[in-house]
């Protein structure tokens, strides 16, 4: 990526801390999909298998580790499921 490039990441809007997701309107569904789809696809492709609903805190941490120093997290009014990370 060029130095002035922008990386856009879309991920499920959750916290990395399970107790903060207990009241999430789709929490049970999110954890089920994360365990049965996301984890298995990651592990099958030699990925890290980051865990069920790895969340905003871990996404920010991994983007920082990848060298992105400016990260904005945005939501769309009509989209209750996702965070959009704009990383530079």
Of 68, 87, 88, the closest CA to residue 11 belongs to: 87
Provide the domain count of the chain: 1
Question: What tens digit of pLDDT does each residue of 14-64 get?
Answer: 999 999 999 988 889 999 988 899 889 999 999 988 877 889 999 999 999
Provide the whole-model pTM: 0.86
Closest CA to 72 of 57, 86, 58: 86
Tell me the residue range of the domain where 16 lies: 7-87
Q: Residue 49's pLDDT is what?
A: 86
Q: What is the DSSP string of 39-51?
A: HHHHHHTT-----
Burial 20-57 (b: 16+ CB within 10 A, else e): ebeebeeeeebbeebeeebbeebeeeeeeebebbbbbe
Residue 1 domain-assigned (yes or no): no
Tell me whether residue 11 is in a domain: yes
Task: Tell me what pLDDT residue 71 has.
Answer: 98
């Amino acid at each position: 990526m060029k130095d002035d490039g922008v990386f856009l990441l879309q991920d499920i809007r959750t916290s990395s801390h399970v107790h903060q997701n207990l009241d999430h309107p789709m929490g049970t569904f999110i954890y089920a999909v994360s365990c049965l789809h996301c984890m298995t696809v990651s592990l099958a492709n030699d990925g890290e298998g980051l865990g069920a609903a790895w969340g905003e805190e871990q996404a920010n941490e991994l983007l920082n580790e990848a060298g992105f120093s400016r990260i904005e997290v945005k939501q769309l009014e009509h989209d209750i499921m996702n965070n959009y990370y704009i990383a530079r």
